Each structure stands twice: as C-alpha cells, then as structure tokens.
Homo-oligomer: A and B are copies of this chain.
Amino acid sequence: MNLQDFSRYKAVARLTSLAGQPHDLAAADGLDPQRVAAYVCSSCGYDLLYATQRVNDAVLDALQELADEAGLVDAFLAMKTGVVINRIDGYASENRQVLHTACRDVFSGNPLEPELTAKSSQELAKLQRFLSDLDNGTIVNAQGQPFTTMVQVGIGGSDLGPRALYLALQRYCRQGRSARFIANVDPDDVAAVLRDLDLSRTLFNIVSKSGTTLETLTNEQLVKAQLLKAGLDPARHMIAVTGESSPMDDVSKYRASFYMYDSIGGRYSATSMVGLVTLGFVLGYEAVRDILAGAYRVDVAAEERDIRRNIPLLLALLGIWNHNFLGCATVAVLPYSQALCRFPAHLQQCDMESNGKSVTREGKNVSWATGPVVWGEPGTNGQHAFYQLIHQGTEIVPVEFIGFRESQHGVDLDVAGTSSQQKLVANMLAQSLALAVGKFDENPARRFSGNRPNSVLIADRLTPESMGALLAMYEHKIAFQGFCWNINSFDQEGVQLGKVLANRLLAIIAEGGNQSQPKETSLHREEAMLIQAGML
C-alpha cells in the first residue's frame, strides 16, 4: 500500500480551494431535474441519489483524483488479498490481516485469500449440519423437544451487528424460532431477557473471540446459575463461537463450537460465525447463503475505480467532503425502515471504532479530522423528533437516508390515495429535498437555509441478500475513509485504558470490606471517585 498523509495529497489542496464556494443547492437552479438524474450511482440492486450533496462536477473530479492519488482501490485490494494492514509501522500492534471479505469469498472459484476462505467454508458446512441436526431431531432438549429460542450472549461486535441483522430480517424468521440478545454487564439486562423465556427450549450462544470478555463471561455465569436453578444441564443448553484454542474452546462445556479468526475484527464479524449461527437458527441456512451472496456482490463491485460507479467509494468520498472540507462533525444515518432500527447502532460501532483515531499508520499525530460521530434513528420517527435541528439548527448534519420501495410484510392499506409504504418513501424524498433546497419565508422562524447535504440510498426490498449488500457497502465505505486518512481502521487501542482502570476500581471494591477507611491524605483519585459515587 502506498498511502500518504492526507494533508499532502494534491487533490486535498484542490478540494480545500473548492470548499470555499461549495455548490449552492438553495439557488434557483441549484437542484434541477437534470442534476437529479445525473447524480445517481447504481450498483448491486441499490441506487445512490446524491444530487442533494453540495458537490458539482469539479468536486467529483477532485474526489476521483483523491481516490486515485491515494490508491484507495489498491489499498482495498491489498486488504482483500491478505496483506497485513492492521498495524502501526515501527510500534507494537495487532499486526494482523483484515479478512472479513474472505468469509464471503466462498462464492468465488478462485478466492483471493484461499486459507481463510477454506476455513470459512468449513465453518459454514459445520453450521449447515448443526442447523439440520436441529431440524431432524438430533439436537433436542432433555425431553426430546426442539429448541425454539436462541439467546446470543456477546457484546460489541458480538452483539450489535448480529442484533441489527436479526431485527432487519425478523420478518423472515422460521415458524416457531426466535432470537434474543444479552450484552450488557447490567444484571437487569440478563434478568429482563430470562424472565420471559422457556429455558427448557432455549439454546444460549456464547460469543467471545478471546474467550475472556468480562461482560460475556459474567453473563454466562448468570445464565448457568439460572439453568441450574431450573434443573437444566447447562452443557446441553449452550453453544460457543470463539477463537480456536481460546479458554472457551472446550467441548465439555458446549454442545457445539464454531470458530472465529483473528483476522476478522469484531465489528466486521457479522458475516462470520459471530452473526451467522444465530441468524441461521432463526432464518435457516438458505438465508445465510443469501446474506453472504449479497455482501460478496458488493465486495467485488467495490473494486471499481470510477467513483461515480462505486457506491461505497462514493459514500466514503462524499463523507470526506462533508467532514474534512465543509467541516461537519457528525453524520446521521436515517433508515426509512423500522426493520433497520438498530442498523445505525451497528454502524456507530463499525465506523467510530474503526476511524476514531488520532495517529497515522506510521504512529504520527494526524493534523486532519478523522472519523465523525455517527448516529441515527429510523424515519419517519425522527421527523417528529430531532429533524428540527437538522433543518434549522446551527450544527450542519450531513444525512444518509436509506429506504426501500416495497415493504417486507406486504400488510398495507391505502389511506387518502396512497399506501403506508408510499408515504414512507415520499417522506424520505421530501426530507432530502427540503434539507437541500430550503425555503424563504417572511417569518424568520419559518425560514429554511437549505444547503444541508444528504444522499438517498434506495433498493427494492429489504431481504437477506440486500441486507448483506448494505452491510458490506458500509463496511467498505468505512475502510475507504480510513485508507484516505492514512489511519489503521482495524485496531482499537482506545478501549484499553478504561478496562485497566475498571479492574483497578473493582479490586478496591473487592477489598473494600477488609480495609479500614483510608485517610483522606493518602487517597488516590480512584478511591475518591468511588467514595463520592457512594460505592465505598
């Protein structure tokens, strides 16, 4: 890979100059039908409408130049072929390949990184047998009854992606199958989930790559205690997804084990066994293949070098334009689909954990903005909530709308001449237009400045395949941005300090009962915090 510091690209200088006068969407001719028709990028079943971004052909040309100069597609190919890109030159680091695409490369006759793709195929075959054993009565509870619920116990990457996909595809669940999720170390989370369940018909899927995640191991203990209390054998009700030879890789404790690999980061692991076991349980094996196929299509399409024909690359560059050149601190992802209600939370992790960094791949401090704050809720709900600020606030919030032409359930009704689904999509397009063009009014409180950049990503219907495609589009958007900022998007050193301090506080609490009250002069700030919070 031949990445340089962001500030040194010629295209960055050109874009800085262009940003002095960005395209005026609120002008009389700022958004005409020709522009709407021209600024569309179609790929893998999706159309990206970006006429409502503050770009013109000169900006798009400069963004293309940036993509070429930085070699973004070459970096992406390096990632896919297994170059060790999860590293910081000259310093200790994870020093790993980044191969979430390899578990989708199972559709290729000639996979780019054959070793991990072969392992992925093995795990898929194992999953297929496991699912079939559940169906044919080989895997049942002590009474010989089939399992109806799978509870995934995991946190972060072992929770957000799988949960978002489950909610997105819940409509396609097999009769009599459902899933629940436990993540938080908050004991109320476990208690609330377990309260409603028939434990005798439940399988717990414990997911932790290291096999040492504090929250997950604690929750596993809580679950075990409840199973024992109900007179059930934990080993019969638990399966595991973990790294090979982790402390959790133990056939005596789990009914089945699936492997995850070091070269697939947690936040990119939804299409590995981390997501697919639970999704397979509720949706069936065919849907698992469809999710992978959708993602695979995008993995291939994202090799396209023309930014106007590559949705993830274009999303990445439009994001960089808004963030680094127009100065917007956040980006809102607003799906007009209730099924995607937790997809923004997944992206929040995937994006912010990847690109919330301050040092380059060479360990120097960056002098440019890296990842924005990512947030969002489904529309139309948000229209009745935070859209006020997006339209009229002093913070400019770039928006990425996501929508579908058809509903999932097909249960709909015409009210006042249009269906609910038509109302949903019309509202999304109306918001896109309103943010872009604004409106003058004599009453200053009713004035809309417009020029609030946004884009619309739309497909026919949210299915396993289009969900897989959407997931991969955003994964690659994030990777392209990280390459462009010359940061390592694949480590997460920033989560360590909190862990260390939490363990120190817990040690003080655990010893608390044995000690006399420390004198105030010898207090450390950790103890002072605990005392003030009423925990000592």
A439 part of interface (Cβ distance < 8 Å): yes
Chain B residues whose C-beta falls within 8 Å of the C-beta of A135 in the assembled complex: none
Which single member of B33, B364, B397, B526 contacts A444 (CB below 8 Å)? B364
Give the complex CA separation of A535 and B445 in angstroms.
33
Q: Looking at the complex, which one of B374, B423, B533 makes contact with A458 (CB distance below 8 Å)?
A: B533
Please choose the segment from A59-67, A136-144, A153-161, A244-252 that sits at the chain B interface, where 4 or more of its residues have CB less than 8 A away. Answer: A153-161
Whether B359 pairs with A445 at a CB distance below 8 angstroms is yes
Find chain B residues with CB under 8 A from A449 CB.
358
Q: List 16 A-B contacts (CB under 8 A).
A: A31-B525, A49-B532, A157-B384, A170-B192, A171-B191, A184-B338, A186-B420, A218-B413, A329-B373, A363-B445, A368-B394, A369-B395, A403-B533, A418-B509, A439-B497, A445-B488
With a cutoff of 8 Å between Cβ atoms, the chain B residues found around residue A373 in the complex are 329-330, 373, 375, 389, 395, 397
- Min distance, Cβ A437 to any Cβ of chain B, angstroms: 8
Contact partner of A456 (CB less than 8 A), chosen from B187, B379, B381, B533, is: B533
Most buried by B among A186, A353, A445, A498: A186
Docked CA distance A379–B408 (Å) = 32
Bitwise interface map of A from 220 to 253 toward B, beta carbon under 8 Å scored 1, else 0:
0110010000000000000000000000000000
Contact B391 A494 (CB under 8 A): yes
Task: Contacts A192-B409, A378-B186, A405-B535 given; indicate if A349 touches B386 (C-beta within 8 A).
Answer: yes
The 3 closest A-B CB pairs, nearest first, are A356-B389, A156-B384, A356-B393
Chain B residues within 8 Å of A358, by CB = 392-394, 449
Of all chain B residues, which has the CB nearest A497? B434
Q: Are B498 and A383 in touch, CB under 8 angstroms?
A: yes
**Stretch binding the partner chain, chosen from A16-24, A293-301, A308-316, A499-507:** A499-507
Instruction: Decide if A215 is an interface residue (CB 8 Å cutoff).
Output: yes
Contacting A502 at CB < 8 Å: which of B378, B403, B430, B488? B430
A339 contacts the other chain (CB 8 A)? yes
Distance A393 CA – B31 CA, assembled complex (angstroms): 35
Number of chain copies forming the complex? 2
CB-CB under 8 A from A426, the residues of chain B are 502, 505-506, 509, 530, 535
Instruction: Tell me, in angstroms, the Cα distance from A486 to B426 when the chains sit together.
Output: 35
Contact for A433 among B353, B379, B488, B501, CB less than 8 A = B501
Measured CB to CB, the nearest residue on chain B to A448 is: B497
CA distance A429 to B183 in the complex (A): 19
Whether B384 contacts A155 by the Cβ 8 Å rule is yes
Candidates B33, B185, B389, B394; contact of A523 at CB < 8 Å: B33
Q: Does A70 sit at the interface, judged by CB under 8 A? A: no
CA separation between A171 and B418, bound complex, in Å? 40
Instruction: Pick the contact of A338: B188, B218, B419 (CB < 8 A).
Output: B188
Please determine whether B185 and A427 come into contact, CB atoms closer than 8 angstroms: yes
Check A185 against B423 for contact (C-beta < 8 Å).
yes
**Which of chain B's residues have a CB closer than 8 A to the CB of A32?**
525, 528
Query: A348's contact among B171, B385, B431, by CB below 8 Å, is which?
Result: B385
- Say yes or no: B528 contacts A33, CB within 8 Å: yes
> With a CB–CB cut-off of 8 A, which chain B residues contact A532?
36-37, 40, 47, 49
Using known A-B contacts A359-B444, A394-B369, A502-B430, determine if residue A417 contacts B528 with beta carbons closer than 8 Å: no
Closest to A224 in B: B413
Instruction: Determine if A115 is an interface residue (Cβ-Cβ < 8 Å).
Output: no
Cα of A368 to Cα of B393 in the assembled complex, Å: 11
Q: Chain B's nearest CB lies how many Å from the CB of A429?
A: 5
A324 → chain B, closest Cβ, in Å?
10
Contact for A186 among B336, B458, B498, CB less than 8 A? B336
What are the interface flags for A311-330 relative to B under an 8 Å C-beta threshold, 1 for contact and 0 otherwise?
00000000000000000011
For the complex, give the distance between the alpha carbons of A415 and B221 in Å.
8
Contact with A221, one of B413, B434, B498 (Cβ below 8 angstroms): B413
Give, as a whole number of angstroms, the nearest-CB distance from A479 to chain B.
Answer: 15
What is the CA–CA distance of A86 and B21 in the complex, to the nearest angstrom? Answer: 37
